[in-house]
Amino acid sequence: MFRIRFHGRGGQGMKTAANLLSRAFFLEGYEIQDAPRYGSERRGAPIFAYVRADREPILERGAITRPDLILVADDSLIHNPSAGVLQNVNSRTVLLIHSEVPGEVWKDRLQFPGTIIGLPLSAVARSGAQIPVVSASCTGAAAGLVGVIRRETLEPALREELTRLGESVIAQNLETALSAYDAMQPYAGCVKEGGALSAEDYAPPDWIEIPYEDSTISAPVIYRTATSEQIQTGLWRTRRPLIDYSHCNRCSWVCSTFCPDSAIHVDPDRTPHIDYEHCKGCMICLAVCPPHAIYMEKEQPAPIEGGAR
Amino acid sequence: MRRTLLTGNGAAAWGARLAEADYVPAFPITPQTEIIEALAGWSERGEMAGRVVTLDSEHSMLTAAAAAAATGVRVFTATSSQGLLYGMEMIYTAPGWRAPFVMVNVSRALASPITLEADHNDILAARDSGFLQIHCATCQEVLDSVLMAYRLAEHPQVRLPAIVNLDGFYLSFTREPVVIPDQEQVRRFLPPFDPGNVAFRADRPASQAALVLGGSLYSYFRYEAHLATLQALTAYEEVAQAFEREMGRRYPAVEAYRAEDAEYIFFLMGAYATKAKDAVNRLRERGMRIGVVRPRLLRPYPARILQELLRGRRAVAVIDQNLSMGMGGILYSELASALYGMKDAPMLVSYIGGLGGRDISTEELFTMAAQTREAADAGVTPEPRLLYTAAELREVRKMQTIAGSKLPGHMEGKNDE
Amino acid sequence: MSEGTIKSMKNLPQEHILGEGTSLCAGCGGLGALHQIYDLLGEKTVIVNAAGCMTSLAIYPYTPFRGSWLYTAMASAASGAQGIRDALDVLIAQGRLPTEDDLTVIALAGDGSSYGMGLSATSAAIERNLDFLYICYDNEGYGNTGQQFSAATPWGARTTTSRGGHHGKKKDLFAIWAAHHPVYAATVIGAEPLDLARKVEKAIRLRGPRLILAMAPCPTGWGYDPQETVEIGRLAVRCGIWPLKEYEEGRLTHTRIPQPRIPVEEYLQKQSRFRHLFKPERNAEAIAHIQAEVDRYWSNVA
């Protein structure tokens, strides 16, 4: 069975990517299972979707814990712990990251046990292409890597899944998917089907009896305030607002009042500061700043530390 | 302390008054309305300090009740039947807040068809909610159980809301002699509500009942509420003993009547239990060794006590005043699960009766006893039986004819008049 | 009635106390209004939250609040507010809570709850003269489930359950509230912070049922780039589709009369929920209908 995970952000079309790939498998005669998984997080927050494909009817359920292939929509997700990109990876796992940074560099940085392939989105999508095209790239790359989906299967798969989006969107996605498929030909077939879990050689669960506990701790009550500040919603960001202090007129209120996330603080001397740990990158501050003192940069991946977790 | 005449509804209202409930969110519904009318009257006349507020629905009423309890005051409320179902979202929500309060449910059968008289399908719909449940058989027991329910619900090891159940009409509108304890006596038994650290205060801000994501957190909180419910089994004994010390009346979690040497048992809950006791007295005169076992505490389910009480009996007639469509009696299936696999478990014979307030006659109780003995002798468990007579069906046929139902010729009701 | 303290932008709160790190969408217009309101309300508050987008403000063990909060259910935030208000009153009357430790009780609900499922409970709370502040964030659809139409969805808007444009007519919640003769009701929008702050400040000082009805532009549900949340809100006010007004002591006052009103299509065409009115071809009739409704509203404003 192929067990494949797609990691992206709400709005990047990871559910669509999974749908497209599973349709392609299906057209090749596979039994498939696909599903998205999201919490309450919204646009910009990490989500994942998964696909299982097998020649036999699929009995497994739920999230994939032994991935054969992981596709990542953008490299800023790698070090976002809540994205869980690297969860349960093993030496058989192939990891494809949409990144300008080459795969070997990632493998070295992450001390990743399996294969890593870097695929710059710019290599497969026309400039000016809409963001959701990354989903088509994920699909095309996955189809190329598994080695059992023919190139000509991608078109009917995309057509069946994307009919309602219209011809121009389908064409754009197809072009991207085919480019990604072609780009993966040097690695075609490097993703191998994983076997079934052994009923003999496995790690048994460390079940415990949970004890009775007083209602003062065993009720869903949060006794501390503003604990949400421990959540780094800055990791959702794909665009970064920056303040050009030479143009900032120290109005003291516009950007900080309009920031919906309370993520712009103003010093007593009226200098605003953006809290990048929490700024979600909505860019409202950029839009409202009267002297246009806020500009935008594409978010760069966070500095890399440590290995796979 | 004085002995007077009270209906079940009156006894429930006195229970709330003596518990010195601070707050009573209310909504009228037959056959419960008298309870809130009595409390509203006392509150208006200053005879009771508690504040009575009529809400716009049972859903709102239960939300207000739980929210007030979560703010740290003692709350009483009451409902019945359709009202209980209308509030069901909050019935399931409130226990998770771990904010204790007491609600009286006056059992009334559920629509459809809509009707007024008692059966237990309403209260059993709340069975899996996390509310504790105490079921009463007499008006005295209603008053006493409200007081006990507060002490149990507020017990530091429990801290869950509790329902005290009484049957519509058979208790709600039925007067019996009831001892009303003195306020001082009640205060000795029931100390003021201590909300602990679950309460909204300016110096202790808290976010209560927060969303959880992921099955691990959810499982933990839900299972802890289950464990707290189980704690109520032990806490109940403590409460019952304290109540007996103060008031002189003893209410075990499961009442056993003339059961010590009994070969046969009537197993049922609610007001009909006293009729079963009467039948037992008559049957014993005829030499049958039979008794009554009646769970007062239904949640937590007193499985171990039931196992002890029923081990070694020949057979038990389980009388369910409820009906789980496509399954049968709910008490029957719960008891079967408690006794399954137990050595010397008795045979269980299932009867469904008393739906929508239909009487269960003493003759029927005699017949159930006889059938149960025969079944035990033959060693064959009979099919579940609905208590329903040919005369009743004949009456139904007449009404179907009046309603214009096209009955096949042999079914047509003859109009005797 | 004494004058408020908020006269200009300079008087707006400088400190923003609603915690960062909530899981609400980037650019959320509801959160944009709520954080401004919360800055004025402060910490001695208890918010009773109905099911909706704001449910996920507090996800155990993370809360953005510095005061208290209680999650209830979709239909009964106002009833939860009743229970808490009554309980606080009982505690104060019994001397168990010092008056200075009293809390302001707030119901927080979206349009799905406020215009629909929770309306009966809210109506009853106003009728009981409950002392509470009701905040509705109106994103004109069931936003938390992906923007299906609600009783607050405007005519013509595309939602996931009205692909061809909504056929219903948005309820007038402000008028429904005003018909109950509450002590105060106001419409606000996060894009107009001074107007919002003045109204919230006034609402805080009053006792009784009070409504702050905030239009909440929703990038996810309405279909626009999150950075345009404020711009869309300003357009809503300038084209007159979201009148800023207040009801007080039986009097209705418009706090901003857009003069001149820009054409409503300048507001509509920025949102993909109205794109079908412009592409593939312009639906002049529908646009004119929406414009006529807005014009009719303002023709009745003296």
Predicted confidence (pLDDT) per residue in B111-123, tens digit: 999 999 999 999 9
What's the CA gap between B130 and C151, in Å, rounded? 34
Of B68, B206, B210, the CB nearest to C83: B68
* Contact between C227 and A287 using a beta-carbon 8 Å cutoff: yes
pLDDT of B162 reads 98
What's the CA gap between B132 and B152, in Å, rounded? 9
| CA distance to A240, B192, B289, B389, C76, per residue, from C84 (Å) | 42, 19, 55, 52, 12
Using N-to-C axis directions, what is the helix angle for C119-127 and B58-71, rounded to 10°?
70
Ordered DSSP codes for chain A: -EEEEEEEEBTS-HHHHHHHHHHHHHHTT-EEEEEEE--S--BTSEEEEEEEEESS-----SS-SS-SEEEES-GGGTT-GGG-TTTT--TT-EEEEE-SS-HHHHHHHHT-SSEEEEE-HHHHS-TT--TTHHHHHHHHHHHHHHS-S-GGGHHHHHHHHHGGG-HHHHHHHHHHHHHHHHHTGGGTT-S----PPPSSS--------PPP--HHHHSS-B-SSSGGGGS-GGGG-SEEEEE-TTT----SSHHHHH-TTS-EEE-TTS-EEE-TTT-----HHHHH-TT--EEEEEPPPPPP-S---
DSSP assigned state of C126: H
- Is the pLDDT at C132 greater than 80? The verdict is yes
Strands of A46-54's sheet, edge to edge? A31-37, A46-54, A2-9, A69-72, A94-98, A115-119
* Stronger pLDDT, C60 or A39, i.e. the higher one: C60
Residue A55 CB neighbour total at 10 angstroms: 11
3-state secondary structure of C294: helix
And the tokens for A202? 């496995």
**CA nearest to C28 within chain A:** A260
Q: Are C15 and C39 in contact (CB under 8 A)?
A: yes
Q: Which residues, numbered 115 to 174 in chain A, qualify as contacts with chain C under a Cβ-Cβ cut-off of 8 Å?
A: none
User: Is C69 a member of any domain?
Assistant: yes
**Pairs across A and B, CB distance < 8 A:** 62
- With CA atoms as reference, report the closest residue to B106 among B166, B188, B28: B166
What's the CA gap between B393 and C215, in Å, rounded? 61
- Is the pLDDT at C282 greater than 80? The verdict is yes
What's the CA gap between A35 and B61, in Å, rounded? 40
What's the CA gap between A276 and A263, in Å, rounded? 8
What's the CA gap between B217 and B229, in Å, rounded? 19
Give the chains touching B; criterion: ≥3 Cβ pairs < 8 Å: A, C
Tell the residue number behind the tokens 């048992």, with chain if given: B265
Percent of chain C surpassing pLDDT 90: 95
pLDDT of B95 reads 97
Residues 6+ apart with CB under 8 A from B41: none
How does strand C45-49 pair with strand C68-71? Answer: parallel
pLDDT per residue as tens digits for the range A6-50: 999 888 889 999 999 999 999 999 999 999 987 655 677 788 999
Q: Which residues, numbered 272 to 301 in chain A, qualify as contacts with chain C under a Cβ-Cβ cut-off of 8 Å?
A: 275, 277-278, 280-284, 286-288
For chain B, the farthest-separated pair of C-alpha atoms sits apart, in whole angstroms, at 77
Domain of residue C176, CATH code: 3.40.50.970
Residues 6+ apart with CB under 8 A from A119: A96, A97, A98, A99, A137, A141, A180, A183, A184
- pTM, entire model: 0.94
- Is the pLDDT at A55 greater than 80? The verdict is yes
- Is the pLDDT at A304 greater than 50? The verdict is no
Alpha carbon of residue B378 to chain centroid: 34
Of A215, A220, A222, the CB nearest to B159: A215
pLDDT of A77 reads 87
3-state secondary structure of B285: helix
Q: Output the CATH code of domain B254-386.
A: 3.40.50.920
- Is the pLDDT at A238 greater than 90? The verdict is no
What's the CA gap between C299 and C302, in Å, rounded? 7
Residue C189, CB half-sphere, CA atoms under 13 Å: how many?
25
pLDDT of A305 reads 40
Domain ranges of chain A: 2-187, 228-298
**Strand pairing partners for A194?**
none
Start-to-end C-alpha separation, chain B: 54
- Is the pLDDT at B366 greater than 50? The verdict is yes
Confidence grade of residue B196 (pLDDT, cut at 50, 70, 90): confident
Segments of chain B assigned to CATH 3.40.50.920? 254-386
Strands of C251-256's sheet, edge to edge? B207-208, C68-71, C45-49, C104-110, C132-138, C209-215, C184-189, C244-248, C251-256
What's the CA gap between B207 and C62, in Å, rounded? 9
Segments of chain B assigned to CATH 3.40.50.970? 2-247
- Is the pLDDT at B379 greater than 60? The verdict is yes
- Is the pLDDT at C276 greater than 80? The verdict is yes
What's the CA gap between A25 and C22, in Å, rounded? 38
And the tokens for B50? 């508690």
Per CATH, which fold does A2-187 belong to? Pyruvate-ferredoxin Oxidoreductase; domain 3 (3.40.920)
Count the domains in chain C: 1
3-state secondary structure of C119: helix
Q: What is the mean pLDDT of residues A167-179?
A: 93
- Is the pLDDT at A180 greater than 60? The verdict is yes
Distance from the B214 Cα atom to the nearest Cα atom in chain A, whole angstroms: 8
Is B210 an interface residue toward C (CB < 8 Å)?
yes
pLDDT per residue as tens digits for the range C9-32: 889 998 999 999 999 999 999 999
Confidence grade of residue B107 (pLDDT, cut at 50, 70, 90): very high
* Contact between B213 and A219 using a beta-carbon 8 Å cutoff: no
Confidence grade of residue A130 (pLDDT, cut at 50, 70, 90): low
What's the CA gap between C5 and B399, in Å, rounded? 74
Percent of chain A surpassing pLDDT 70: 93
Rg of chain B (C-alpha set): 22
Is B220 an interface residue toward C (CB < 8 Å)?
no
Is A222 an interface residue toward C (CB < 8 Å)?
yes
| CA distance to A293, C20, C156, C271, per residue, from C228 (Å) | 17, 20, 21, 10
What's the CA gap between A117 and A105, in Å, rounded? 10
Residues 6+ apart with CB under 8 A from A172: A126, A129, A130, A133, A136
User: Is C213 a member of any domain?
Assistant: yes
pLDDT of A128 reads 60
Percent of chain A surpassing pLDDT 90: 77
**CA nearest to A212 within chain B:** B227
Residue C21, CB half-sphere, CA atoms under 13 Å: how many?
19
**What is the pLDDT of chain B when averaged over all its residues?**
96
DSSP assigned state of B23: E
- Is the pLDDT at C112 greater than 60? The verdict is yes
What's the CA gap between B319 and B360, in Å, rounded? 10
**Strand pairing partners for C209?**
C132
And the tokens for B36? 């809130």
Distance from the A115 Cα atom to the nearest Cα atom in chain B, whole angstroms: 31
Q: Any idea which architecture A228-298 has in CATH?
A: 2-Layer Sandwich (3.30)
- Taking CA C182 as the corner, what is the angle to CA C176 and CA C183, rounded to the nearest 5 degrees? 145
Confidence grade of residue A300 (pLDDT, cut at 50, 70, 90): low
Confidence grade of residue C164 (pLDDT, cut at 50, 70, 90): very high
* Contact between C79 and B55 using a beta-carbon 8 Å cutoff: yes
Per CATH, which fold does B2-247 belong to? Rossmann fold (3.40.50)
Tell the residue number behind the tokens 């009766």, with chain if given: B353
Distance from the B22 Cα atom to the nearest Cα atom in chain A, whole angstroms: 22
pLDDT of C152 reads 98
Best to test chain C binding among B54, B61, B71 (most C CBs inside 10 Å):
B71
- With CA atoms as reference, report the closest residue to C109 among C60, C142, C153, C74: C74
pLDDT per residue as tens digits for the range C191-237: 999 999 999 999 999 999 999 999 999 999 999 999 999 999 999 99
pLDDT per residue as tens digits for the range B166-183: 999 999 999 999 999 999
- With CA atoms as reference, report the closest residue to A140 among A13, A15, A21: A21
Q: Are A262 and C22 in contact (CB under 8 A)?
A: no
| CA distance to A161, B272, B353, per residue, from B120 (Å) | 51, 12, 11
* Contact between B97 and A218 using a beta-carbon 8 Å cutoff: no
* Contact between A220 and B208 using a beta-carbon 8 Å cutoff: yes
- With CA atoms as reference, report the closest residue to B351 among B377, B381, B311, B380: B381
pLDDT per residue as tens digits for the range B219-265: 999 999 999 999 999 999 999 999 999 999 999 999 999 999 999 99
* Contact between B213 and A40 using a beta-carbon 8 Å cutoff: yes
**What is the pLDDT of chain C when averaged over all its residues?**
96
**CA nearest to C119 within chain B:** B56
The three state secondary structure string of B75-117 is EEEEECHHHHHHCHHHHHHHHHHCCCCEEEEEECCCCCCCCCC
Distance from the C67 Cα atom to the nearest Cα atom in chain A, whole angstroms: 7
What's the CA gap between A151 and A301, in Å, rounded? 32
Q: Are B321 and B310 in contact (CB under 8 A)?
A: no
Q: Are A136 and A181 in contact (CB under 8 A)?
A: no
pLDDT of B415 reads 52
Is A204 an interface residue toward B (CB < 8 Å)?
no
- Is the pLDDT at B414 greater than 70? The verdict is no
Phi-psi region of B32 (alpha: psi -120 to 50; beta: other; left: phi over 0): alpha
**CA nearest to A41 within chain C:** C23
Among A119-133, A174-188, A208-222, C73-87, the range scoring the smallest mean pLDDT is A119-133
- Is the pLDDT at A303 greater than 50? The verdict is no
Residue B135, CB half-sphere, CA atoms under 13 Å: how many?
30
Domain of C185 in residue numbering reads as: 9-299
Tell the residue number behind the tokens 């179902």, with chain if given: B85
What's the CA gap between C79 and C118, in Å, rounded? 9
pLDDT of A76 reads 83
Is C59 an interface residue toward B (CB < 8 Å)?
yes
Peptide bond into B295 cis (omega under 30): no
Residues of B in contact with A87 (CB under 8 A): none
3-state secondary structure of B410: helix
Percent of chain B surpassing pLDDT 70: 99
3-state secondary structure of B57: coil
Q: Which residues, numbered 223 to 282 in chain A, qualify as contacts with chain C under a Cβ-Cβ cut-off of 8 Å?
A: 224-233, 236-237, 251-253, 256-266, 275, 277-278, 280-282
Q: Are B54 and B64 in contact (CB under 8 A)?
A: no
- Is the pLDDT at C4 greater than 90? The verdict is no
Ordered DSSP codes for B151-203: HHHT-TTT---EEEEEETTTTTT-EEEEEE--HHHHHHHSPPP--TT-S-BTT
Q: Are B268 and B294 in contact (CB under 8 A)?
A: yes
Distance from the C179 Cα atom to the nearest Cα atom in chain A, whole angstroms: 32
- Is the pLDDT at C48 greater than 80? The verdict is yes
State ipTM: 0.96
pLDDT of C285 reads 97
pLDDT of A308 reads 35
